[in-house]
Structure 1
Amino acid sequence: MSEDGAAVPNNAQPSPLPWEGKAQPADKFLMGAIVASGLYLLALMPLTPGLLAHPYILVLLKGSMSGMVTLGGMVRIGEASLPLVVLVSIPGMMMFDWLYWWAGRRWGRRAIDVFIGNHPKAEKRAQRLERLTRRWGWLAIVIAYFQPVPNVLIYAAAGWTRMKLWKFLVLDAIGSGLWIALCIGLGYAIGQEAVDTAKAISRYGLYLGLGLIVVVFVRQYYVASRQARRP
Structure 2
Amino acid sequence: MNSQLHELIGLVLRHAEWAYAAVFLAAFLEAIPLLGSLIPGSTIIVALAALVPGGGLQLTPVLAAAVIGAILGDGLGYWIGHTKQRAVLSAWPMSGYPVLIAQSEALFDRYGAFAVIFARFIAPVRAIVPMIAGVLGMPPWRFFPLNVIAILFWAPAHVLPGVLAGSAAEQWGMKIEHYGLPLAGGIIAVGCIGWAVYHWRNRSLA
TM-score bracket, normalised by the shorter chain, equals: 0.5 to 0.7
Q: Distance in 1 between matches of 2:64 and 2:100?
A: 36
Distance in 2 (alpha carbons) for counterparts of 1:171 and 1:140: 9
Residue 73 of structure 1: aligned partner: 50
Letter of the 2:141 partner, please give it. W
Larger Rg: 1
Deviation of 1:126 after TM superposition, in Å, equals: 5.2
Q: CA deviation at 1:59?
A: 0.8
Structure 1 residue 152: Cα displacement: 3.5
Cα RMSD of the aligned pairs, angstroms, is: 3.8
Deviation at 1:188, TM superposition (A): 2.2
Q: Cα distance, 1:190 vs. partner? A: 0.9
Distance 2:62 2:100 in 1: 37
**1:150 aligned counterpart, secondary structure:** helix
Percent identity for Structure 1 against Structure 2: 22
Distance 2:104 2:159 in 1: 31
Displacement after TM superposition at 1:168 (Å): 1.7
Aligned to 2:38: none
Structure-to-structure mapping, 1:93-104, within 5 angstroms: 93-104=70-81
Kindly tell me: are residues 190 and 166 of structure 1, through their superposed partners in 2, closer, same or farther at Cα, counting changes over 3 Å? same
In the superposition, relative to structure 1, how do residues 128 and 78 fare at CA in structure 2: closer, same or farther (>3 Å)? closer
Kindly indicate whether residue 157 of structure 2 is the aligned counterpart of residue 182 of structure 1. Answer: yes
* Cα deviation 1:150-205 (Å, max 9, x = unaligned): 334311211122212233222222222222111112112212549555424889xx
Residue 137 of structure 1 deviates from its aligned partner by 3.7
User: Letter of the aligned partner of 2:63 in structure 1?
Assistant: V
Whether 1:169 aligns to 2:151 is: no
**How far apart are residue 90 of structure 1 and its match?**
1.2
Of Structure 1 and Structure 2, the greater helix share is in 2
Alpha-carbon separation, structure 1, partners of 2:72 and 2:104: 23
Partner of 2:95: 117
Q: Are residue 191 (structure 1) and residue 171 (structure 2) matched?
A: no
Please, what TM-score do these two structures have when normalized by structure 2? 0.56
**8 A contact 2:78–2:133 mirrored in 1:** yes
Residue deviations 1:98-118 (CA, integer Å, cap 9, x gap): 222122222222222335424
Inter-partner Cα distance in structure 1 for 2:64 and 2:101: 35
Q: Within the alignment, does 1:90 sit opposite 2:76 as a pair?
A: no
The residue number in structure 2 matching 1:155 is 130
How many residues are treated as equivalent by the alignment? Answer: 154
CA deviations 1:15-65 (Å, max 9, x no partner) are xxxxxxxxxxxxxxxxxxxxxxxxxxxxxxxxxxx8993422211233243
CA–CA distance in 1 between the matches of 2:43 and 2:103? Answer: 33
Distance (whole Å) between structure 2 residues aligned to residue 95 and residue 118 of structure 1: 25
Alignment correspondent of 2:199: none
Deviation, 1:70, is 4.0
Q: Deviations over 1:97-146 (max 9, x none)?
A: 22221222222222223354246xx3x87566446425524322112232
Partner secondary structure for residue 50 of structure 2: helix
Structure 2 Cα separation of the partners of residues 72 and 125 of structure 1: 30
Unaligned segments of structure 1, at least 5 residues:
1-49, 213-231
Give 1:117's aligned amino acid: S
Shift, 1:69, TM fit: 2.2
Which TM-score applies when normalising by structure 1?
0.51
CA contact 2:101–2:128 (8 Å) conserved in 1: no
